[in-house]
Amino acid sequence: MAHHPLDPLTADEIRQAVSVLRRDRDVTERWRIASIELREPSKAAVRDHEPGAPLEREARVVCWNRDDGRTHKALVSLTGDRVTEWRHEPDGQPNLTLDEVHECDVAMRREPRVIEALARRGITDMDRVLVEAWAYGAHLVPEQYSSRRLGWADVWYRKQPGANPYANHVTGLHFVIDLNRMELLEVQDDGGDEEPETMGEYIPRLVPSQRLRDDVKPLEIVQGDGASFTLEGNLLRWQKWSLRIGFNHREGLVLHTVGYEDEGRTRAVAHRLSFAEMVVPYRDPTPDHYRRTAFDIGEWGLGFMTTSLELGCDCLGEIAYLDAVLHDSTGEPYTIRNAICIHEEDDGVLWKHVDDESGAETRRMRRLVVSFHVTVGNYEYLIYWRLYQDGNIQVEVRATGIMVTTHFRQGRQPPYGTLVDERTYAPFHQHFLVVRLDLDIDGERNTVYATESAALPVGPDNPDGMALVQRSTPLRTEHEGKQDYDWSTQRGWKVVNDRVRNRLGTPVGYKLVPGDCIPAMLDPDSPVLRRAQVLGHTLWVTPFDEDERWPCGEFVVQSRDDRGLPVWTAQDRSIEDTDVVLWYVFGIHHITRPEEWPVMSVDTVSFWLKPVGFFDRNPALDVPPAPHHHPSA
Ligand SMILES: [Cu+2]
């Protein structure tokens, strides 16, 4: 049972939403349910909610009929037990579902043309074959298939049962599949070549002649008095921070109503923080890779891809886990156990000074980490939201897992990747992450300023050329809100509430300190950039609109154009002194390395949100010294 308006849908609510649609809109078993999520209440409704008051609950549902391919969006009032909106989406292909991807694998492994193509390459054990479908862009869909829901599949092969399928790409063999009919439409087959002798295994028993190192001694995290946070339902409190944990199929973890207690009152920092899109273009035009433009959030969904976490492996210490409730494509709910991990970490020194007379004064830093892990096919993304005692927020993503690799003919290595094994290369690619930051700094009416440093020229007031000034430029319109990173000026972006002043008389703010910004490096005419125009800038700023959630559009499967940010911002609305939303793009420019094969150690990227004049002074001045635990000599 939900207790707060922002609590995610329960299993019963998911069942109810589906049964209302089956009853009132003839959604039969020939339909698939792409997604069901809470329709979040307005900011005012959240603010005015009294604990224990009755909840108005609504579900957003996207579903489609496999027979005619028609997609519908529904709004279901759970409180009223009825459909309140029902709309046909003529151009919308909903997200892929796990059921489809699985059914496609099973169907293709039984398909005579697939069996035959593999037999010609000496592969006959179909139990060790994995046929994995990817979605792709509309520009690659021929006219006769344009109304169909399509997958483009790779074939992978496990050398033995339990071995890594991504160790062995069946290079030069791809299928185009109608996912509604599970019908094989096209076989792309270059006939194959002799397989190289590779070693793509990472599980110790499968790695030949490997001895695990034996000098790693236990490192235990002990919190004898328990953790310093409390979790009541989805309300999390820690070290003056408070926030609500949300979760849905597409964004995965969502942080709601993030606030910091200052002199007895909770001050708003953010209304809602989440990952809104992830785009992974492979920068390799060869036949095995040219369709790879994964939209891991819009096509797959971070929530649907979330995996259960294990104590001791994924997180150490006193852990609180939250389960997540999602649903399959029939609308049947299921639970991902331990989907979200909440724990504290020691993070070295927070602040320190050594004085000749009073000696050393040192504080240890703690951070609260709220995290979840997703597995999208071969790749893992580990996503960490970290709150610090001094008001900082850090957002970190670690990419790990298995790189996509393919084989090449002797002497014919393409220049679009790195050699990682015998006649095997890993294509270059980029992971663009788009985070949606609905910051509310001490209230909803905020303005974003671009902040830049400038060195002044040598002159009478600056004879030694030492002068440096900081300039803040307000971003007044959505056009001005399109911002690019500039290393030469150390550009950043400050979200300011000009109506609230600190003790020093300056307006309160939080700064987005960019990190790991990467340029798109895509031709303006490239189809993937047309589908994901958000990649063209580091930052976009829009006025808050409940319906503006997906920067590349709600439906990115087989999309042709971006129906999100470029369409919204074409209105060039005012973003001054209003409820602003920031869309920040960062990521990994992945020039692959041999050391990332056969399994890739985490590649880590992050950025910060830091208070700038939000507090009157260092808010972590009151952190007590750590008790000394040195054993006496
Ligand atoms: Cu990568």
Q: Sorting pLDDT into bands at 50, 70 and 90, what band is 566?
A: very high
**pLDDT above 50: residue 304:** yes
pLDDT-derived band at 91, boundaries 50, 70, 90: confident
Q: Which of 296, 314, 438, 442 is catalytic?
A: 296
Cα separation, 609 vs 256, in Å, equals 15
Contact 393, 564 (CB under 8 A): no
Give the Å distance between the CA of 604 and the centre of ligand 1. 11
Q: Residue 3 — pLDDT band, cuts 50, 70, 90?
A: confident
Ligand 1 centroid – CA 430 distance (Å): 6
Give the DSSP H or E segment for 274: strand 265-281
Cα–ligand 1 centroid distance for 406 (angstroms): 15
299 CA → ligand 1 middle, Å:
18
**Strand blocks (E) in 356-456:** 359-376, 379-388, 393-401, 406-407, 417-421, 424-427, 429-439, 445-455
| Catalytic (active site) residue 296 | yes
Tell me, in angstroms, the distance from the centre of ligand 1 to residue 523's CA. 20
**Pairing mode, if any, of strands 492-501 and 445-455?**
antiparallel
Mean pLDDT calculated for residue range 45-74: 95
Encode pLDDT of 428-446 as tens digits: 999 999 999 999 999 999 9
For residue 558, report the distance from its CA to the centre of ligand 1, in Å.
Answer: 22
What single-letter DSSP state applies at residue 140?
G
CA of 480 to the centre of ligand 1 (A): 32
d(CA 295, ligand 1 centre) in Å: 13
Q: For 294, phi and psi rounded to 5 degrees?
A: -70, 130
Percent of the chain at pLDDT exceeding 70: 99
What order do you get walking across the sheet with 150-157 strand by strand?
129-134, 150-157, 173-178, 183-189
Task: Quickly list DSSP for 459-511.
Answer: BTTBTTS--EEEEEEE--BTTTT-B---GGGT-EEEEEEEEEE-TTSSEEEEE
How far apart are the C-alpha atoms of 529 and 537, rounded to whole Å? 11
CA of 237 to the centre of ligand 1 (A): 35
pLDDT at position 630 over 70: no
- For residue 412, give the nearest of 424, 420, 428 by alpha carbon: 424
What's the gap in Å between 48 CA and the centre of ligand 1?
Answer: 44
Measured distance CA(600)–CA(202) in Å, rounded: 10
- Checking if the pLDDT of 366 tops 60, the result is yes
Q: pLDDT tens-digit profile of 129-150? A: 999 999 999 999 999 999 999 9
Q: Tell me how far the alpha carbon of residue 377 lies from the centroid of ligand 1, in angstroms.
A: 13
The tally of CA atoms less than 13 A away on the side-chain side of residue 585 is 28
631 pLDDT band (50/70/90 cuts)? low
> What separation in Å is there between the alpha carbon of 267 and the centre of ligand 1?
38
The percent of residues above 90 in pLDDT, for the chain, comes to 96
Give the distance (Å) from ligand 1 centre to CA of residue 588.
Answer: 7
Q: Which of 136, 379, 384, 449 is labelled catalytic?
A: 379
Dist. CA 404 → ligand 1 center (Å): 9
Burial status of residue 432 (CB atoms within 10 A of its CB: 0-12, 13-18, 19 or more) = buried
Phi (first) and psi of residue 305, to 5 degrees = -90, 0
Span from the CA of 608 to the centroid of ligand 1 (angstroms) = 22
Average pLDDT over residues 448-470: 98
- Host H or E run for residue 513: strand 507-513
Q: Checking phi first, is residue 312 left (phi over 0); if not, alpha (psi -120 to 50) or beta? A: left
Residue 386 alpha carbon to ligand 1 centre in Å: 23
Least confident of 28-32, 165-169, 313-317, 381-385: 313-317
Work out the average pLDDT over 61-69. 97
pLDDT value at 633 more than 70: no
C-alpha angle with apex 627: 622 to 629, nearest 5 degrees?
155
Task: Kindly report the number of other CB atoms within 10 A of residue 401's CB atom.
Answer: 18
Tally Cβ neighbours within 10 Å of residue 582: 22
pLDDT at 246 exceeding the cut of 50: yes
Whole-angstrom distance, CA of residue 563 vs CA of residue 533 = 9
Q: How close is the Cα of 431 to the center of ligand 1, in Å?
A: 6
The mean of the pLDDT values for the chain is: 96
Residue 406: pLDDT band with limits 50, 70, 90: very high
Of the candidates 583, 552, 585, the residue with the CA atom closest to the CA atom of residue 92: 552
Ligand 1 centroid–CA 380 distance in Å is: 10
The whole-angstrom separation of Cα 127 and Cα 153 is: 17
- Maximal C-alpha separation, the chain: 84
541-561 residue pLDDT tens = 999 999 999 999 999 999 999
Among 277, 298, 276, 297, CA closest to 558: 298
CA–centroid distance, residue 425 to ligand 1 (Å): 13
